[in-house]
Amino acid sequence: MIQKEFSISPTGEKFPLPTAEEYKKEFSQLQKTVAEQRKLGREIVVVVGIGFVGAVMAAVVADSTNKKGKPDKFVIGMQRPSVRSFWKIPLLNRGVSPVKSEDPEVDILIERCVKEKKNLVATYTYEVMKLADVVVVDVQCDYLKESLGDCCAGSADMAALEASLGVIAENIGPETLVLIETTVAPGTTEQIAYPIMKKIFERRGIKSSPLLAHSYERVMPGKDYVASIRDFWRVCSGVNQKARKKVTKFLKDILNTDEFPLTILDRPIESETAKIIENSFRATILAFMDEWSLFAERNGVDLKKVIEAIKVRPTHSNIMFPGPGIGGYCLPKDGGLGVWAYKHIHGWEDDIFKVTPLAIDINDTRGLRVAQLVRDALRNMGQPIAAADVLLLGAAYREDVGDTRYSGSEVIVRKLTEMGAEMLVHDPYLAHWWEFEAQDTYPHPDYSWSRFFHRQEKLKELRVNKDMWKAMKGVKAIILAVRHSDYLDLDPEKVVQAVGKPCAIIDCFCILDDAKIESYFKMGCEVKGMGRGHIQRIKEKVRKKKFIP
């Protein structure tokens, strides 16, 4: 007897994977539904991949209206029915977002399109491509790093994207627009996707060229998630004039291009390169601050005040403090896609890239400095780091979001665990930290960052504490890792009272002002901060006051 497989949602609900008989029924029902939608004059849009980007993109498309204010798109979200991801399909069909966001509009939008407008559904059958007028591809193209601090040793993970493009080409009609929205290595659309699809078209007896286009998303997790898709500038291009014309019309139909006009480029490689440079630029200006952060720590400079003084100048208003690493899905990897494409798609052998990979390496390893600060703070208190209970406040990669992908906090936890610390964690936006709980398989089997560190096995048991104040009890050190709203105004007296004794406080993100730093010192705590070299002066000031008769 074959044992039935299940896909389990983050809340623990189990969904059996579909059987062969269910596939036939599923497609038959979709055919009937699509026929009804075509009678209403609606375009059929299939979004492949209903993850962080695809699920919300599908809802944005479904929520769009024509000039008469009526929906003119019927959207089908398509997700491969794997054990890891199938659960997203039944949830979306209930009107429940498969992705969690701090933007309340995400849940509202998906529920409205599924339950009220009834023009958004989800499926698991690839045959749905046969019904599509437009296919939007939101399949991940990751960059897999083989070592920490050497991004050039990594490679683009193209397998899922290439497989999806093959299946799409086997099923779509010759007039179907295929829009790749995924961030890809420059050259992917024209030199990988197009040849795959063209060859399959020829085998099917289709003489025309695939209508293939690229337009990258600029999604920003947080309170403006939907707006970052719908109400934001877009760049697009197509492999030929017909594809460019179609993708331009489609994007103008679904996005607020009146206020945020489209930029149409000549070739997809230009659109692809734009996304890589855009994110590499931001990663570079953040990495630039790493050496100045160390300079500030070692020479009595408060980098926070220095940055505030510089930002007064309008031309430098985008300078910012990087914290313990930049994180997020895009900035830590996108430059690597460009470096990889130069050699492995375009065939060049010389090493022209110097700044882009260095920026990634600096940002990936910045969190290691935090472990040193914890060690030094405890040493100053006469305590070893081995077996010390250390509480990390903030697991996400940025403030007030629940996204932990490539978070600098992960590096902090792993390094301190390697050094013998016992880690606790709190984050008001998280129920689970999957990089640890499922580190054997997440984000990819054999590609957890645990492989870069020793003594990581026990981190599978790490759980996010729900009560911050209870988590503080008895700890030797507290790390302020993320600028979550909950952490910005913590009262030092309440913190020390919750801990029950003086402890080490490590500020990774310029959260503490001078008054709070002084208050901690007065209560016998030790304080360290990234880029906060002036802390030593405050410590000496408190000491002098204690010894003045």
How many C-beta atoms lie closer than 10 Å to residue 220's C-beta? 17
pLDDT digits (tens, 9 = 90+) for 433-463: 999 999 998 887 888 999 999 999 999 999 9
Q: Encoding tokens for residue 259? A: 């206020």
> What angle, rounded to 10 degrees, do the helices at 194-203 and 159-171 form?
30
What gap in Å lies between CA 313 and CA 245, rounded to an integer?
A: 42
What pLDDT was estimated at residue 2? 57
Q: Is 442 buried (19+), middle (13-18) or exposed (0-12) by CB count in 10 A? A: middle
Q: Is 548 buried (19+), middle (13-18) or exposed (0-12) by CB count in 10 A? A: exposed
pTM beyond 0.95, yes or no: no
Domains 6-276 and 367-549 share a fold: yes
The label of the residue with tokens 């990751």 reads 142
pLDDT digits (tens, 9 = 90+) for 6-16: 898 888 899 99
Closest CA to 532 of 359, 306, 367: 306
What gap in Å lies between CA 268 and CA 187, rounded to an integer?
A: 7
Measuring CA to CA, how many Å separate 526 from each of 302, 375, 380, 385, 421?
A: 17, 11, 7, 14, 17
Measuring CA to CA, how many Å separate 280 from each of 274, 458, 522?
A: 10, 35, 43
Per-residue confidence band for 547, with pLDDT thresholds at 50, 70 and 90: low
Mean pLDDT of 82-107: 93
Tell whether the model's pLDDT for residue 1 goes beyond 60.
no
Task: Determine the residue type at 128.
Answer: V
Tell whether the model's pLDDT for residue 4 goes beyond 80.
no
CA 433 to chain centre: 14
Q: Encoding tokens for residue 12? A: 């623990």
Domain definitions of the chain by residue range: 6-276, 367-549
pLDDT digits (tens, 9 = 90+) for 158-191: 999 999 999 999 999 999 999 999 999 999 999 9
Tell whether the model's pLDDT for residue 231 goes beyond 60.
yes
What gap in Å lies between CA 351 and CA 369, rounded to an integer?
A: 29
pLDDT digits (tens, 9 = 90+) for 42-74: 999 999 999 989 999 999 999 999 999 999 999
Query: What average pLDDT is seen over the chain?
Result: 95
Note the CATH architecture for domain 367-549: 3-Layer(aba) Sandwich (3.40)
Tell whether the model's pLDDT for residue 220 goes beyond 90.
no
3-state class (DSSP) for residue 148 = coil
Mean pLDDT of 234-251: 97
pLDDT digits (tens, 9 = 90+) for 459-493: 999 999 999 999 999 999 999 999 999 999 999 99
Q: Do 243 and 212 contact (CB within 8 A), yes or no?
A: yes
User: How big is the CA angle at 464 (ends 459 and 432), to the nearest 5 degrees?
Assistant: 85
What pLDDT was estimated at residue 84? 87
pLDDT digits (tens, 9 = 90+) for 365-416: 999 999 999 999 999 999 999 999 999 999 999 999 999 999 999 999 999 9
How many C-beta atoms lie closer than 10 Å to residue 417's C-beta? 23
Mean pLDDT of 243-258: 97
What pLDDT was estimated at residue 325? 92
Beta strands across the sheet bearing 234-238: 120-123, 73-78, 43-48, 134-137, 177-180, 211-214, 234-238, 262-264
Residues 6+ apart with CB under 8 A from 97: 55, 56, 91, 106, 107, 110
Q: Do 533 and 511 contact (CB within 8 A), yes or no?
A: no
What gap in Å lies between CA 195 and CA 328, rounded to an integer?
A: 31
3-state class (DSSP) for residue 529 = strand
How many C-beta atoms lie closer than 10 Å to residue 313's C-beta? 9
Q: Is 268 left (phi over 0), alpha (psi -120 to 50) or beta?
A: alpha
Tell whether the model's pLDDT for residue 358 goes beyond 70.
yes
Q: Do 417 and 374 contact (CB within 8 A), yes or no?
A: no
CATH class for the region spanning 6-276: alpha beta
- Lowest mean pLDDT, pick from 29-33, 140-144, 174-178: 140-144
Residues 6+ apart with CB under 8 A from 462: 413, 423, 425, 433, 436, 437
3-state class (DSSP) for residue 284 = helix
